[in-house]
């Protein structure tokens, strides 16, 4: 027999491996236990139970596992069999102190396990009460729960105490309840806790001990959210109660809004001109597009308004008469300002006044019911990166535009309509990029935010243009392309819930009321470059939002003319009937 010489390096390597195995793989024993699912780099003691591929295995020798050492691969370390334990039950919400009755759910991660529980401090057994539905806890209660499953060891016992603070002031209640009301409402607030003081707010802020004291019925003359708390010495403050009241005045609860072109019928006008008297009766609000600057791109504030589709058989007097006829039928006719070609800026206070006076002249001459703001291009923009606080803007174009619009609104009564039609670039994009805060982005990103905030007391509704849009990030961090129900819901929820501007937690744009939101989409394939959505998907999105926000105002589209030309008015007929069904 020939014996080959073994090198000293190889012998050294064997010794090192032996030392590693003795120190790393076979560690000091720990107490045996059910270790759950097998995992590498885990220390197991003899008699531990681990689950692998749905089967239980018993550890034969203490060791720390490595990749590839699964129980099925290393019979020297594991044997099939053993009784794994059921997962320990979990409570939701977690045990703790609460100021009101709690509904407590008990769950178990082990599929098919039966949960049994006690509330008398005794240990749960297989004959204890079986958990079937969430428990209602109205007084301090200790719960113990255990899970059982045939072929597995019983779970560990979960226990927790729910302390219900009974020394808490009752939550205030409102009468009448929130909702849509055509006229002014007298709202009373009450609290069942004798001697409690009620404090309230109407600016969407949370009431505190410094808020006004409720002393009698509140007259709600415009759409308002009232929030209230009740306080009493020696007791915990009540929960905050809130109700939203939509005061419609002469505007109905749900509205279908369409833009009507003042032009059309020639080579440059695209779709044919439609006489105002011939618009489909399903339209509730007709936005007349557009009032424009005398000179595009000007800063003087001088404005013009003209209907260029007129003929000898349809004169300006016919147009004015049609406005009155539509209004007699309950329709609203609103003057839209701007548009893509009608861009202008107000850089001085005097320009803002000139703008306001010119627009008021058109309103008075034609009898419009309000104004719609559709500013595009460079009409408004930030001093890039140097105007971070939307509550206190300093950019001249923004400050003066706010002033001009407020001068107009202040000249008319509470039924005067102020609507906004920002592209997503000018509103929702402000969540990720805000031109006044983020110096590296476009100066117009989010530029409608300070205007809407400053004029939210005058704002009837906002119908952002969910078309001709880039992908926009929603509150969930996902990017949305327009033209589907998910995108519609995500973009509207940004306006309803509010968001931080430019990702900065110091600047939170608060959400609008649901009655201040309408969904804006194209009416036909030819009316916009993107964002088209079927009536069915649009109505699905509205229903989803309306379930959570039941006073959602309505639907807007560009445009009435395109719908008549390309759809035979099917957008108006389908969505008008849908909104009517929700009244």
pTM: 0.68
pLDDT value, residue 21: 42
pLDDT value, residue 2: 37
pLDDT value, residue 9: 40
Could you give the C-alpha distances from 326 to 281, 323, 571, 578, in angstroms and in order?
9, 5, 19, 21
Token pair recorded at residue 436: 């006044």
Helical pair 570-581 and 535-548, crossing angle rounded to 10 deg: 20
Give the dihedral sign, CA 55/56/62/64.
Answer: positive
Q: How far apart are CA 427 and CA 450, in angstroms?
A: 10
Q: How far apart are CA 569 and CA 561, in angstroms?
A: 9
pLDDT value, residue 269: 55
Token pair recorded at residue 227: 């929030």
pLDDT value, residue 447: 98
Q: How far apart are CA 17 and CA 11, in angstroms?
A: 10
Please choose, from the candidates 500, 521, 519, 522, the residue with its C-alpha nearest in 3D space to the C-alpha of residue 511: 500
The upper half-sphere exposure of residue 136, i.e. CA atoms within 13 Å in the direction of its Cβ, equals 2
pLDDT value, residue 280: 97
Query: How would you label 211-249 residue by residue, b for 16+ Cβ within 10 Å and e otherwise?
Result: beebeeebebeebbbbbbbbbbeebebbeebbbbbbbbb
Q: How far apart are CA 151 and CA 408, in angstroms?
A: 77
Helical pair 396-409 and 349-366, crossing angle rounded to 10 deg: 30
Candidate list 70, 243, 292, 376, residue with the active-site label: 376
pLDDT value, residue 100: 83
Query: How would you label 433-472 residue by residue, b for 16+ Cβ within 10 Å and e otherwise?
Result: bbbbbbeebbbbbbbbbbbbbbbbebbbbbbbbbbbbeeb
pLDDT value, residue 275: 95
pLDDT value, residue 267: 54
Q: How far apart are CA 366 and CA 324, in angstroms?
A: 9
Token pair recorded at residue 498: 């509010």
Q: pLDDT of the chain along its 583 residues, tens only?
A: 333 334 434 433 333 343 344 334 433 333 457 788 898 888 998 888 888 887 888 898 899 999 889 999 998 899 888 877 788 999 999 999 998 889 999 999 888 899 999 999 999 999 999 999 999 999 999 999 999 988 788 899 999 999 998 899 999 999 999 888 878 899 999 999 999 999 999 988 899 999 999 999 999 988 888 999 999 999 999 999 999 888 877 788 999 999 999 998 665 557 899 999 999 999 999 999 999 999 999 999 999 999 998 999 999 999 999 999 999 999 999 999 999 999 999 999 999 999 999 999 999 999 999 999 999 999 999 999 999 999 999 999 999 999 999 999 999 988 899 999 999 999 999 999 999 999 889 999 999 999 999 999 999 999 999 999 999 999 999 999 999 999 999 999 999 999 999 999 999 999 999 999 999 999 999 999 999 999 999 999 999 999 999 999 999 999 999 999 999 999 999 999 999 999 6
pLDDT value, residue 28: 39
Q: How far apart are CA 517 and CA 560, in angstroms?
A: 20
493 is catalytic: no
Helices (H) and strands (E) in the chain, counts: 9, 34
């Amino acid at each position: 027999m020939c014996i080959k010489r073994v090198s000293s390096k190889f012998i050294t390597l064997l010794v090192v491996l032996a030392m590693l195995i003795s120190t790393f793989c076979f560690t000091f024993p720990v107490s045996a236990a059910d270790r759950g699912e097998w995992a590498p780099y885990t220390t197991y003691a003899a008699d531990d139970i681990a689950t692998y591929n749905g089967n239980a295995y018993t550890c034969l020798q203490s060791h720390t596992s490595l990749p590839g050492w699964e129980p099925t691969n290393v019979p020297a370390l594991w044997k099939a069999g053993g009784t794994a334990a059921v997962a320990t039950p979990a409570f939701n919400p977690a045990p703790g102190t609460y100021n009101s009755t709690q509904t407590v759910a008990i769950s178990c991660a082990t599929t098919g396990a039966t949960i049994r529980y006690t509330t008398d401090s005794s240990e749960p057994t297989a004959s204890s009460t079986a958990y079937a539905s969430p428990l209602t806890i109205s007084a301090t209660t200790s719960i113990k729960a255990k899970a059982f499953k045939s072929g597995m060891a019983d779970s560990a016992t979960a226990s927790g105490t729910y302390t219900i603070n009974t020394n808490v002031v009752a939550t205030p209640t409102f009468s009448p309840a929130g909702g849509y009301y055509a006229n002014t409402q007298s709202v009373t607030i009450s609290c069942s806790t004798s001697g409690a003081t009620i404090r309230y707010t109407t600016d969407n802020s949370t009431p505190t001990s410094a808020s006004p004291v409720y002393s009698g019925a509140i007259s709600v003359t415009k759409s308002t959210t009232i929030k209230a708390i009740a306080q009493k010495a020696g007791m915990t403050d009540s929960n905050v109660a809130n109700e939203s009241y939509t005061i419609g005045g002469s505007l109905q609860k749900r509205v279908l809004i369409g833009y009507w072109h003042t032009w059309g019928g020639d080579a440059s006008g695209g779709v044919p001109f439609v006489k105002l008297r011939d618009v489909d009766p399903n339209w509730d609000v007709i936005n007349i597009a557009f009032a424009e600057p005398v000179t595009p791109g000007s800063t003087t504030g001088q404005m013009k308004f003209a209907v260029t589709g007129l003929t000898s058989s349809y004169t300006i007097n016919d147009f004015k008469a049609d406005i009155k006829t539509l209004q007699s039928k309950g329709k609203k006719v609103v003057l839209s300002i701007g548009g893509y070609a009608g861009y202008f800026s107000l850089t001085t206070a005097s320009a803002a006044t000139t703008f306001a006076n010119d627009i008021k002249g058109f309103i008075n001459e034609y009898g419009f019911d309000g104004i719609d703001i559709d500013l595009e291009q460079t009409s408004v923009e930030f001093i890039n990166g140097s105007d971070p606080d939307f509550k206190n803007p300093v950019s001249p174009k923004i400050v003066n535009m706010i002033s001009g619009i407020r001068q107009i609104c202040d000249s008319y009564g509470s039924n005067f309509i102020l609507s906004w039609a920002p592209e997503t670039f000018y509103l929702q994009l402000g969540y990720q990029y805000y031109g006044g805060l983020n110096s590296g982005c476009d100066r117009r990103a989010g530029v409608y935010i300070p205007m809407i905030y400053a004029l939210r007391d005058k704002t009837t509704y906002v119908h952002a243009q969910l078309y001709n849009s880039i992908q926009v990030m929603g509150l969930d961090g996902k990017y949305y392309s327009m033209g589907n129900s998910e995108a519609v819901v995500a973009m509207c929820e940004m306006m309803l819930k509010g968001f931080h501007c430019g990702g900065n937690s110091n600047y939170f744009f608060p959400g609008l009321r649901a009655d201040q939101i309408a969904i804006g989409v194209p009416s036909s394939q030819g009316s916009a470059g993107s964002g088209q959505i079927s009536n069915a998907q649009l109505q699905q999105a509205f229903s989803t939002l309306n379930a959570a926000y039941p006073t959602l105002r309505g639907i807007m589209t560009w445009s009435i003319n395109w719908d008549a030309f390309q759809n035979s008015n099917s957008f108006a007929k389908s969505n008008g009937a849908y909104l009517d069904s929700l009244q």
